[in-house]
């Protein structure tokens, strides 16, 4: 077990060194852009996303039955993850007019379908919990 930990630690140190080396090879303008994205992401999360999620969670706990909470949290987490991953392709900022193979699908429709599937599973999970909890009538 100790040998595995040492190997994992050495691998992590090497990967960190490699990543730092790649970052430091960038020109100063790229470094500033990278730093701005890191700082902006932290500020966006701490100033906007975390408080909004906390308020939504408090409201959900007050308004929704306790048996729904886990399913709703799962659906919310999947929704936020899908939205975060889909932003670049939904905005189509990388689309090239001369190359139709880049961003060649209708990504907003795909995102809506994925979100519908997630929330359909949330509904099925809530229904499953309700049916399981409901006492059966004796004949």
Q: Is the pLDDT at 47 greater than 80, yes or no?
A: yes
How far apart CA 91 and CA 77 sit, in angstroms, is 21
Q: Is the pLDDT at 9 greater than 70, yes or no?
A: yes
- Mean pLDDT for the stretch of residues 71-93: 87
pLDDT digit string, tens, across residues 64-81: 998 899 999 999 999 999
Q: How far is CA 96 from CA 20, 92, 103, in A?
A: 31, 9, 8
Closest to 118 (Cα-Cα) out of 84, 78, 83: 78
Model confidence at 131, in pLDDT bands (50, 70, 90)?
confident
Model confidence at 99, in pLDDT bands (50, 70, 90)?
confident
How far apart CA 86 and CA 106 sit, in angstroms, is 12
Q: Is the pLDDT at 136 greater than 70, yes or no?
A: no
Give pLDDT, residue 5: 96
Q: How far from chain centre, in Å, is Cα 96?
A: 27
Residue pair 76/83 in contact (Cβ under 8 Å)? The answer is no
- Mean pLDDT for the stretch of residues 84-94: 79
Q: Is the pLDDT at 101 greater than 80, yes or no?
A: no
pTM of the predicted protein model: 0.65
Give pLDDT, residue 72: 93
Give pLDDT, residue 74: 93
- Mean pLDDT for the stretch of residues 37-55: 91
């Amino acid at each position: 077990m100790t040998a595995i930990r040492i190997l994992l630690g050495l691998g992590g140190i090497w990967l960190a060194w490699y990543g730092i080396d790649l970052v430091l090879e960038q020109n100063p303008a790229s470094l500033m852009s990278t730093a701005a994205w890191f700082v902006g992401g932290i500020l966006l999360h701490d100033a906007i996303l975390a408080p909004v999620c906390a308020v939504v969670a408090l409201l959900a706990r007050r308004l929704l039955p306790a048996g729904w909470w886990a399913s709703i949290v799962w659906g919310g987490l999947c929704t936020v993850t899908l939205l975060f991953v889909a932003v670049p392709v939904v905005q189509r900022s990388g689309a090239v007019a001369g190359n139709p193979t880049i961003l060649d699908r209708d990504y907003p429709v795909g995102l809506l379908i994925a979100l519908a599937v997630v929330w359909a599973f949330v509904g099925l999970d809530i229904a499953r919990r309700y049916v399981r909890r409901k006492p059966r009538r004796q004949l």
